[in-house]
């Protein structure tokens, strides 16, 4: 399994997005990226996490960062999720988990005693040069956006 760490170059990707076009991490040469992987649209934890980023979006943009969410859900699901919660950032569809696997954000997880394979809830903070500056392998969905902002504020 791949393990992307602080100081590593972020793997490049291009995926279909809820905006109707493909989005690549190379589309943002002047911005850092908050790249978060999440298991499924419109589930309690994923909704809490997405809404946290929604509520912190303006501040993240002011600090020079874009937000991109990635899951295996299809574009139709992403569009519904985006519209339902007024998410101001794109959600990208990675149906075969190719990008999730390239970041090490796919693997075995234990959901209520049931062992499954799937997207792991992880976040990668990437600077404008494409270097990973922070990795969250464990995320508290209720405070995650605030945790990300605290790290960004400490950078400046």
SS3 of residue 82 by DSSP: helix
Residues 6+ apart with CB under 8 A from 25: 10, 12, 13, 33, 35, 68, 126, 130
Q: Is 46 an active-site residue?
A: yes
- Tell me phi and psi for residue 12, to 5 degrees: -80, 155
Cα torsion at 46, 49, 27, 135 (round to 10°)?
-100
Structure tokens belonging to residue 12:
């490049």
Catalytic pick from 4, 46, 99, 135? 46
Which tokens hold the place of 154?
């400490």
Torsion over CA: 48, 99, 22, 126 (sign): positive
- Catalytic residue annotation: 46
């Amino acid at each position: 399994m791949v393990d992307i760490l602080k100081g590593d170059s972020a793997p490049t990707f291009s995926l279909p997005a809820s905006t109707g076009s493909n989005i690549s991490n190379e589309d943002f040469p002047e911005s850092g990226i908050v790249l978060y992987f999440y298991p499924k649209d419109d589930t309690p934890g994923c909704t809490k996490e997405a809404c946290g980023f929604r509520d912190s979006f303006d501040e993240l943009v002011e600090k020079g960062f874009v937000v991109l969410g990635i899951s295996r859900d299809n574009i139709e699901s992403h569009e519904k999720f985006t519209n339902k919660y007024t998410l101001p950032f794109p959600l990208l569809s990675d149906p075969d988990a190719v990008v999730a696997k390239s970041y090490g954000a796919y693997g075995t997880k234990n959901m209520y005693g049931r062992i499954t394979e799937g997207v792991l809830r992880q976040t990668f903070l990437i600077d404008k040069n494409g270097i990973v500056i922070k990795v969250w392998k464990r995320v508290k969905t209720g405070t995650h956006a605030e945790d990300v902002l605290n790290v960004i504020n400490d950078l400046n």
